[in-house]
Amino acid sequence: MIGVAIGAMSLIVVLSVFNGLEDMIRTIYDSFDPDIKIEASLGKSFVLTDSLKNQIEDIEGVEAVIEVIEDNALISYRDQQVLARIKGVDDNFLRLNKLDDFIVTGDLKLRENNIDYAILGYGVDYELGTLIQSGINAMRVTYPRRLRPGTIPSARSIKRKNIMPAAVFAIEKEYDENYVFVPLDFAKDLMDYGDKRTSLEIEVSEESSVSGVAESLEALLGNEFKVLDGDAQHSGLLQALGFEKLFLSITLAFITAVASFNIFFTLSMLAIEKKKDISVLFSMGATKALVKSIFFKEGALIATVGTMSGLILGLIICVAQKEFGLIKMGMETAVMPAYPIKINPYDFVFVALAVTVITVLASYRPALIASRVKIIQNLS
């Protein structure tokens, strides 16, 4: 019973931790990423016409469309340099309060009094050592022009523009160490994009379904564009986490199966030791089905008590971890101090069925052995 209980408890805890990690990833990215992202199926940019944008905005459920120009560029500030991801966004980005809760210093603005401003990730700001509050030194952004094949690079092959740092945000390490937000017109002029955009970010109204709006966009745009919802934008990470969860669950299920072998051997030895008692039962009129059910029910009792005990212990551990954060991440840069937990009732059903089936199957063979005991040999 203890072995079965430990196996069931381990499965519940592991599944709940992975559920919590998935939830944490979605929470982090959903607070920053758009509900839906539109990209070109081929290449890294596409031409955005007024008619296409109007058609997208007319789709029911679309609250706002954010035009985006995004690419790598070299940023210089005084004596420091860093390669960062420049993301040019239009006015809708700030209007939707995408960064309000993540600003750690400075003023949230992209343009004021005809001056362009940049919003830096915490890691980029650290590398450059910007003096946000001084408002004196500007950042220089350097971007290579697109050259025709065979053209010799020269000073004209590089374009530079200055921009003032306005604020610093801190969301998650991937964003903090790479991203710098700038006005869309600044990025368009720096990269010579004209009417081209690298992506469109769609915000869906609260009363509308993201999946429903995504289907409408796919029907409108066809195969020339990729329509990505929140999970699709980070499919690689979520799939990797899902595979880890699957294989770890399978491993723990095998461990539980090994623990159930103890039940198999214990009941088998019991059937051998109790041959004389079984023979007495047969002589009193007991049937093979009755004897088999006795041993089978004993295995089922072990499975039931062990599984229920494991589920209760697993629930207690998960609730304690969720409330008190007993087990820490152990990293100073971790998004959360302790391992996250999300309790899913379906996990309890899955674990209960899996462990019970494994344990009951282990009881079948000993029950069969007991039912085949020969009366004459054991009573003589």
Query: What are the pLDDT digits (tens) for 71-94?
Result: 999 999 989 999 999 999 998 888
Look at phi and psi of residue 39 and say left if phi exceeds 0, alpha if psi is from -120 to 50, else beta: beta
* Interatomic CA distance for residues 30 and 37, integer angstroms: 12
Look at residue 345 and tell me whether its pLDDT is greater than 70. Answer: yes
Look at residue 154 and tell me whether its pLDDT is greater than 60. Answer: no
Look at residue 128 and tell me whether its pLDDT is greater than 60. Answer: yes
- Taking only the tens place, the pLDDT of each residue in 223-276 is 999 999 988 888 887 788 788 878 877 877 777 777 677 777 877 888 888 888
Q: Which residues of 297-309 are buried (b: 16+ CB within 10 A; e: fewer)?
A: ebbbebbbebbbb
- pTM of the predicted model as reported, rounded to 2 decimal places: 0.73
CA distances (Å), origin 110, targets 122, 178, 303, 309? 17, 18, 63, 58
* Beta strand spans in the chain (E): 36-40, 46-47, 62-77, 80-89, 103-106, 111-112, 115-121, 139-144, 158-169, 179-183, 196-197, 199-204, 225-229
* Interatomic CA distance for residues 319 and 326, integer angstroms: 10
Distance linking the first and last C-alpha atoms of the chain: 36
% of the chain with per-residue pLDDT over 70: 93
Of 57 and 357, which is predicted with more confidence? 57
Do residues 32 and 337 make contact, with C-beta atoms less than 8 angstroms apart?
no
Percent of residues in the chain assigned helix, strand, coil, to nearest 5 = 55, 20, 25
Look at residue 47 and tell me whether its pLDDT is greater than 90. Answer: yes
Select from 376, 373, 377 the least CA-distant residue to 274.
373
